[in-house]
Amino acid sequence: MAKDETIQEYYAMSKKWLSAALTNLEQGLYEPAMFNGIHALELGLKAALHTIIEGPIKTHNVGGLFGKHFRDKVGDECCRAVNLILARYNLPRYPDQKMVEPKEVAEELKFIKEFIENIILDLIEEENVNNIHT
C-alpha cells in the first residue's frame, strides 16, 4: 500500500472510531465511548506517524513515539494530554478497573475530537500528503 493511502486509511478509520465514541457518549455508554475514543486517538496518532515512518507500527502505545517526532510542533502539554488519555486504555475494558467520571469522558472525547480533526489533520497536511478525506 502506498504511503499516502496508508495515512488516509488510518485517518479515515480514526474518524469512524471517533464517530462511534461520540454516539456512545450521547447514549450514556461511557465505557464504550472512552474505549472507542482511545482507539480513535491511537489511529489518528498512527496516521501522523506514517507521514514520517515507513512500514507497520505494531504497538498500541504510540504516545511516546508521537512525542518524539511531533513534540516540537504540538507542544509538551498536548503530548502530555495524549499520553494521559492513552494510559487509560484498560479502564473502560474491565469491570475491576475504576472508570473515569462521565464528565471526564466527555471532556476527553472533546479533546480527542479536536486533536484528530485539527492537530492530526494539520500534521498530515503539513507533511504534504495529498487527498486526505475528512
Tell me the CA distances in angstroms from 95 to 28, 31, 61, 91, 108, one per residue in order: 17, 10, 22, 8, 20
Q: How far apart are CA 117 and CA 15, in angstroms?
A: 8
Containing H/E element for 45?
helix 30-49
Where are the domains positioned within the chain?
Answer: 3-126
Angle at the Cα of 11 (from 132 to 99), degrees rounded to 5? 155
66-71 CB contacts, 8 Å cutoff, 24+ apart: 70/123
Residue 13 predicted with pLDDT over 90: yes
CATH superfamily of domain region 3-126 = Nucleotidyltransferases  domain 2 (1.20.120.330)
pLDDT at 49: 96
What cell numbers appear for 99 in the block? 472508570
Given a cut of 90, is residue 83 above it in pLDDT? yes
pLDDT tens digits, one per residue of 18-71 = 999 999 999 999 999 999 999 999 999 999 999 998 888 887 779 999 999 999
113-134: average pLDDT: 79
In this model, does residue 130 exceed pLDDT 50?
no
Q: Place 131 in a pLDDT band, splitting at 50, 70 and 90.
A: very low
Determine the pLDDT at residue 128.
55
